[in-house]
Amino acid sequence: MIVSKESLTFPNIQVKMHKANALIYVLSLISIKPFVCLDEVLVGHLKPFGQHRKPDVVTQEISAVPHPAEFWETYVSKNKPVVFRGAAIHSRAYELWTEEFLISEYGDLTVRLEARAEANDRLPVGEADILGRDTIKHFIQNYQTMDAYVISQIPQPMERDIGIPPCLRCGSFSEAIQEVHLFLSARGGKTKLHQDPFSNIHCIFNGTKDWLLVHPDQTDLVYMSDDSKYEWGGYSEIDIDSVDLDEFPKIKDVHYSKVRMNKGDCIFMPGGYWHQVRSWGYMNSAVSIWFSQLKQFTEKDCDNVNISFTPMNEVRVLWQYSGYGDLSQGHMDIYILKRFLLTLADNEGRIWLKDFVQKYFQSESRRRDVMRKDEQERVIKLVEYLDPDHKGFVTRGYIENLTVDQLKELLLFIDPNDVSNTEEFEYSHIDTPYIEALLTECHDKRGIFDKEKFISSYVQGLGGTHTKATEIVESLGAHDKDIAMADIEGRISKALHKFYSAKEHDPTFERKMYQHLRQHDEL
């Protein structure tokens, strides 16, 4: 048998190759170990917020609502949430708020709607074909299938059903209740991870809610959105249903508390405290009592031993809503405005109005020409209100002595009612370039404007109402006759006049005020 050189050496080569492959394999295991353990390292990746670790912070729970002085000392001044188990049973709503009762007693009242998921910016449309509005009757008759829930300033006729807790019934708290929000939903709902601009007490009358609470000292871990970094309220950029830990890796370090609230429970949530909420139940109803983030507390009238739960209609609330027409929710805190103005005083206690106006009233609005004129009118009235004698300044003492009603009047010059509270909000909400583009696209083969296609596309594509779409068509003169596209172009400006001139929310003042107060350690 003749053995070739190749055959003699091949087995050795094979052995060496096997050893080399084995070494490569072992090295590859070592080098990719972190990736093999990816699921272990990124616990909660692409899962709902809170799955990255077990809740390891405890939120205190108590069975009796404390006296206002104790509430301030133990919880509010320390920025500490607390659950009041069973506190909501003292409200008429706890026993009375069924579907039948709400429809029969309050069915014709109008409330504000939001999309069921906060990430959805398309506003629901109710019975009257008004963007973000519905009657309570129509909502409850349809809320099991609507992509909507009620989050609205509570209508005044419903105030009698809400018990204001005794912890807010004297001292500084008694003049600090800003507004009360009503929540109605079905089939569950969820919020973003967010902060509220005010402290609040949230009470549940139907259903349950799961709260995840994150202390504000972890703000650098939750990826606050850029557009809310200089405002009192804020929200996180994460998707709370599927947290991407590759994109938002610091979430894995967030420590949190988990609280389940049942029918009859209330929770105190400090202003600026991060929380994410999921609601459950066939019907979920609740209210949130918003009050100022106070820097100090006085015990005026707190020696009254009969402080107790009091119907809301017997308590002073700064901003209320009749149940019809425009709401007044969402104003900035009058007491923070007061603190801000006091920090502007010079060494002689004077606040120079010209400097104040020049520094804090420069609009960042994209409709600068419209908003600048509007601001100028408000600023003139503001200066006249503060300085009727034309001295050019107001004193620290003048600001310190302003009553609650005077502070409200002053605030309305600086922070007028938000356009989203009005029934004309659609003119601000729908972007005009999209309407313009839609108008130029809706025509038939003959070059005739197709009004039916426009109305359908405006409603389905842009999220507007049939009423406003028809209004545009009528302004074009196309509601009762055929109009050539060549004629449409010259009429668009007139037809969209209300959209072009609509007001919009401008956060410039609030953001500048926030930055100023932060620099002066007054937040």
CA separation, residue 343 to residues 11, 215, 298, 352, 399 (Å): 88, 28, 21, 12, 11
CA 407 to chain centre: 24
* pTM reported for the whole predicted model: 0.87
Give the best-scoring range by mean pLDDT among 1-5, 343-347, 499-503: 343-347
User: In terms of C-beta density within 10 A (0-12 exposed, 13-18 middle, 19 or more buried), how is residue 189 classed?
Assistant: buried
Q: Which range, 228-237, 252-261, 416-425, 510-519, has the best average confidence (pLDDT)? A: 252-261
d(Cα 463, Cα 486) in Å, to the nearest integer? Answer: 27
Per-residue pLDDT, 118 = 58
Amino acid 464: pLDDT: 96
Residue 8 has pLDDT above 70, yes or no: no
pLDDT value at 476 more than 70: yes
Which range is most confident: 224-228, 263-267, 377-381? 263-267
Average pLDDT over residues 302-330: 92
Q: What is the mean pLDDT of residues 229-255?
A: 95
The pLDDT value recorded for residue 486 is 87
Q: What is the mean pLDDT of residues 391-395?
A: 95
d(C-alpha 60, C-alpha 89), whole Å: 19
Domain boundaries in the chain?
A: 60-314, 334-423+504-519, 425-501
Q: Mean pLDDT, to the nearest integer, of 301-315?
A: 88
Residue 36 has pLDDT above 60, yes or no: no
Q: Are 108 and 157 within 8 A, CB to CB? A: no
| Burial environment of residue 266 by CB neighbours within 10 A (0 to 12, 13 to 18, 19 or more) | buried
Distance between CA atoms of residues 54 and 75, nearest Å: 25
Under 8 Å between Cβ of 197 and 233: yes
What pLDDT does residue 363 have? 55
- pLDDT (tens digit per residue) in 244-256: 999 999 999 999 9
**Class (C level, CATH) for 60-314:** mainly beta
pLDDT above 70 for 420: yes
Read off the pLDDT of residues 40-52 as tens digits, 9 standing for 90 and up: 568 999 999 999 9
Q: Which of 285, 121, 111 is nearest to 206 (CA)?
A: 285
User: In this predicted model, which residue has the larger pLDDT, 209 or 507?
Assistant: 209
Give the pLDDT mean for 342-364. Answer: 88
- Average pLDDT score over the chain: 89
Burial 198-221 (b: 16+ CB within 10 A, else e): bbbbbbbbbbbbebbbbbeeebeb
Look at residue 61 and give its three-state secondary structure. Answer: strand
The region of weakest confidence among 314-323, 354-363, 491-500 is: 354-363
Residue 112: strand pairing partners: 133
Q: Distance between CA 281 and CA 468 in Å, rounded?
A: 35
Kindly report which listed range (162-166, 326-330, 369-373, 442-446) carries the lowest average pLDDT score: 369-373
Over residues 216-237, mean pLDDT:
92
Q: ∠ CA 61-62-65 to the nearest 5 degrees?
A: 130
d(CA 354, CA 382): 11
Tokens 């990826």 label which residue? 223
